[in-house]
Amino acid sequence: MKLRATLALTAVFALGAIAAGCGGSDDDTSTSSLTKAEWIQQADTICKTEDAKTEQTAKQLFGNQKPTQAQIQQFVTQYAIPGTEEELEKIRAIGAPSGDEDEVNKILDTAQAAVDKAKTSGDVNEQTFAEANTLAKQYGLKVCGQG
């Protein structure tokens, strides 16, 4: 399907950023009473839900038509980056498992730095969220960071 290229691009940074972290705040993530497994489950659920919204928006905008590079750029700027920031905020809001605050903050802060870079440069490619995705996978996230 021709929409795959758009969705792949969206997934690269939407999933990457989401898995990696939260947006909007440079504050450290608070500690929660969640276990690591519970935190991963909640974060992955957030990523899955938010990514589905982004994909739905792409389908509504482009249908089965292959978008132009300009349309992809506009989609990324208007929908994908803000959607990723929203995911990151929701993930940060659940707090980090006790003892894992530094590791979770590193994931989230790395993802936020990638979002900030994408917003400034307007350029998103497979490498934009590579570091955040790697950290997310190493921590055990299954949906987030799989872009």
- For the chain, what are the domain ranges? 3-20+35-139
What are φ and ψ of residue 75, in 5° steps?
Answer: -60, -45
Contacting residues for 27 by C-beta, under 8 A, at least 6 apart: none
Query: Does the pLDDT at position 6 exceed 80?
Result: no
Cα–Cα distance measured from residue 118 to residue 73, given in angstroms and rounded to the nearest whole number: 11
Q: What amino acid occupies position 30? A: S
Full-model pTM: 0.78
> What is the per-residue pLDDT for 147?
65
> What is the per-residue pLDDT for 137?
96
